[in-house]
Amino acid sequence: MKPTTPDKIRNVALISHGGAGKTSLAEAMLFDAGAISRLGTVEAGTTALDWDPDEQKRGQSINLAIGSLEHDGVRITIVDTPGYADFQADVVEALAAADAAIVVVDASGGVEVGTEEVWKLADARGLPRMVFINKMDRENANYDATLDALKARFGPKIAPVYLPIGAAESFKGYVDVIEEHATIYEGGKPKEVPIPDDLAGIEHSRRDALVEAAAEASDDLMMKYLEGEAFTDEEIETALHKGTREGSVVPVFVGSATQNIGVRELLSMIARHVPSPAEVGSRLTVDGKEIAPDPNAPFVAQVFKATADPFVGRLTYFRVVSGSLSGQGHIYNVNRKEEERIGNLLSVQGKDQENLAKVGPGDIAAVAKLTSTHAGDTLVADKAHAVELEPLAFPKPSLQVAIEPESKADLDKLGQALHRLTEEEPAIEIRREEGTGETVLTAMGDAHVDVIVDRLKRKFGAAVKTATPRVPYRETIRQAARIDNKYKRQTGGHGQYGHVVIEFAPAEMGEGFAFGDRIVGGVVPKQYIPAVEKGLREAMSEGVLAGYPVVDLHATLVDGSYHTVDSSEMAFKVAASQALKKAFEAASPALLEPILEVDIVVPDEYMGDVMGQITSKRGHVLGMDSADGMQHLKAQVPQAEMFHYATELRSITQGRGRFSWKVDHYAEVPHAIAEKVIAEASSNGHGPDRAGH
């Protein structure tokens, strides 16, 4: 990557629904510009940007990837992204690095759910967009239907610049609406020809539509348009550039990445109309300060991706916002409040890396072996000029699975492997579930889980198996009870003796455990009272009914007795734990389950199906409202019913629904379900021998 100035840089992210051909398009762009020497294919696993073994195995992108090229005197850096919703975090990261997005649309599929989702992500960052209608050579390709769908979904700012000549097997080129000429490809080479007669009328109407869209970007042109005056090609180009930058115009191009038709032209349009970092201007800090792309200002950069590799270590990708930086020095991580040592600065081309002497505003680069830096962090060269850029907003994972190592050797590696994994996967959560002892992974979906399992084994040597998590039930009592329990054991010589009288009472939900004593006269010596509490706490952690922790309980030691020789802390611990078990027989025990507060966002047309499913899951709706054509539903649902909901909601809504959850409270499990849980626990060696308590 040659050094250059911010005005000569174009940073674009390729985004789309899965399977629209982003990686093939990136490959053709790199090949046409001479950045790579041969044209690989996704099917053969030979593209420059799908180099990860997981991607080659699946035939789809699962990570963002970076490639740079030179075209028309500017450097274009492409950030290719996954299209499948499970890997949306990488799209968020890519858009943080880019100044514009190229939305790739399959001409045979039209505007699909993933198109809508990535469009919203680009909206959230206020990025200019272009659309490339790809796969015009595919059977069932329909340009007009795709263009109509784009306009119906995204409005009149959709402005076709190229029209296809032919479709499917007959697709061979395009008509340039601005310059009013046609190009066909023969033997892979472009050739300018007259506009075909059957497209002449369409071309005029499309040009009129483009002129109207361009006029929206300029008051002078709008006056000219209203007065019926013709626009020059230069005026349309100027307005197109301004409108693209401001987002009031979304130019639409056509082609076939695999046939390499329309790709060079797209590169030229990126060079001409995507705003440079200099043109984009300042980025905002969290406190509203503007950071300009000035190479002479203090160095500021934002990390947008971090990967962990067992061989090269951590690789951290960043976008320079301001200032310049050379390698072999120190930088300060504003978010972590830690200094990091940096070695060589690296440019990235797929899996290949090259040393850089220096980076400046607009540059996308990487550095190895930073120890504590994560995606979204702000890096500065000088702690005295520390500023913090707006953080990245990652999607919240919602699919939970329990993971466990396949062997003892895997167990030894798993803790470190999970720690390394969280460094490169911002859209996962890992926790140890109290009460079940399981390690629970929360991910974006089934495909995300599959990739994580493969990655744990391939990259970190920790093989795991997955299962539906156990419900983290809790146990409690609903009535008060006074328990008199004596633990006495004589085995010859020194014996064991502990006698306690404990009053148990239910506490308010969420209040926890409270222990006290009303011992008078030393009937239980003071040195043994802590042992009584310890015995109760240990027994509560193991559970009584089904092996789940006991919660929301008051226990007061009110009486007892001791033996001067045989009493011990252990004897009083055992006496207390036995008393708790007896209390569960006498004090109307109950099994509690976690109730989730669930926020669901779905298009209007799926609302009935979603509400019906929530009801079938023993849930109840708390409220609804609508915004932007979407219904927002808030409900409470037992966690036991929600482990597979991420997959179910995707199926019901054709991928258009999303949800988030948090544990709201615990509630009593219905009797029939509780009996099943307790019976199953008994058969597995937990809880009482008899079901029903």
Mean pLDDT of 418-434: 92
The answer to whether the beta carbons of residues 324 and 259 sit under 8 Å apart is: no
Q: What is the pLDDT of residue 225?
A: 74
Q: How confident is the model at residue 506 (pLDDT cuts 50, 70, 90)?
A: very high
pLDDT, tens digit, 9 for 90 and up, residues 158-193: 999 999 999 999 999 999 988 888 999 998 899 999
* Coil/strand/helix, residue 551: coil
CB-hemisphere CA count at 13 Å for 589?
A: 27
Q: What is the pLDDT of residue 218?
A: 75
Q: Return the DSSP state at 276.
A: P
Mean pLDDT of 215-240: 80
Residue corresponding to tokens 């099994």 = 591
Q: What is the CATH number of domain 283-385?
A: 2.40.30.10
Comparing CA positions, the residue from 336, 303, 332 lying closest to residue 318 is 303
For the chain, what is the radius of gyration of the CA atoms?
32
Alpha helices by DSSP H, 392-528: 408-424, 446-460
The Cα 235–Cα 596 span in angstroms is 57
Question: How far is CA 48 from each of CA 42, 395, 581, rounded to the nearest angstrom?
Answer: 9, 28, 64
Q: CATH classification of 6-195+249-278 is 3.40.50.300, yes or no?
A: yes
Residue 652 structure tokens? 């019901």
* Coil/strand/helix, residue 119: helix
Q: What is the pLDDT of residue 429?
A: 96
Mean pLDDT of 379-388: 93
E runs forming strands in 551-655: 553-561, 589-603, 620-627, 630-638
Residue corresponding to tokens 């030393």 = 522
Q: What is the CATH number of domain 399-467?
A: 3.30.70.870
639 Cβ contact partners less than 8 Å away, ≥ 6 residues apart: 471, 472, 593, 594, 595, 596, 663
Return phi, psi of residue 668, to 5°: -65, 135
Q: What is the dihedral sign for C-alpha 645, 649, 655, 658? A: negative
Between 221 and 433, name the one with better pLDDT: 433
Q: What is the pLDDT of residue 687?
A: 63
Q: Return the DSSP state at 385.
A: G
Alpha helices by DSSP H, 108-194: 113-125, 143-154
Domain span(s) for CATH 3.40.50.300 in the chain: 6-195+249-278
Q: With a cut of 60, say whether residue 206 has pLDDT above it.
A: yes
Least confident of 55-59, 101-105, 225-229, 516-520: 225-229
Query: Any idea how long the chain is?
Result: 693
Comparing CA positions, the residue from 91, 39, 35 lying closest to residue 67 is 35
Domain span(s) for CATH 3.30.230.10 in the chain: 475-587
Q: What is the pLDDT of residue 689?
A: 47
Please, what is the end-to-end C-alpha distance for the chain in angstroms?
A: 71
Between 684 and 406, name the one with better pLDDT: 406
pLDDT, tens digit, 9 for 90 and up, residues 262-301: 999 999 999 999 999 999 989 999 999 999 999 999 999 9
Between 233 and 345, name the one with better pLDDT: 345
Residue 630 structure tokens? 């979407």
The answer to whether the beta carbons of residues 192 and 160 sit under 8 Å apart is: no
pLDDT, tens digit, 9 for 90 and up, residues 644-677: 999 999 999 998 999 999 999 999 999 999 999 9
pLDDT, tens digit, 9 for 90 and up, residues 47-88: 999 888 888 888 889 999 999 999 999 999 999 999 999 999
Q: What is the pLDDT of residue 237?
A: 87
Q: What is the pLDDT of residue 55?
A: 86
Q: CATH classification of 475-587 is 3.30.230.10, yes or no?
A: yes
Q: Count the neighbouring beta carbons within 10 Å of the beta carbon of residue 281.
A: 12
Q: How does the average pLDDT of the chain come out, rounded?
A: 92
Q: What is the pLDDT of residue 310?
A: 64
Q: What is the CATH number of domain 593-673?
A: 3.30.70.240
CB-hemisphere CA count at 13 Å for 345?
A: 22
Q: What is the pLDDT of residue 692?
A: 37
Residue 172 structure tokens? 């061979």
Q: What is the pLDDT of residue 693?
A: 37
Least confident of 30-34, 223-227, 365-369, 688-692: 688-692
Comparing CA positions, the residue from 546, 582, 570 lying closest to residue 673 is 546
Predicted TM-score of the model (pTM): 0.90
Which helix H or strand E contains 205, and what residues bound it?
Answer: helix 197-215
Domain span(s) for CATH 2.40.30.10 in the chain: 283-385
Q: What is the pLDDT of residue 690?
A: 38
Q: What is the pLDDT of residue 691?
A: 35
Q: With a cut of 50, say whether residue 334 has pLDDT above it.
A: yes
Domain span(s) for CATH 3.30.70.240 in the chain: 593-673
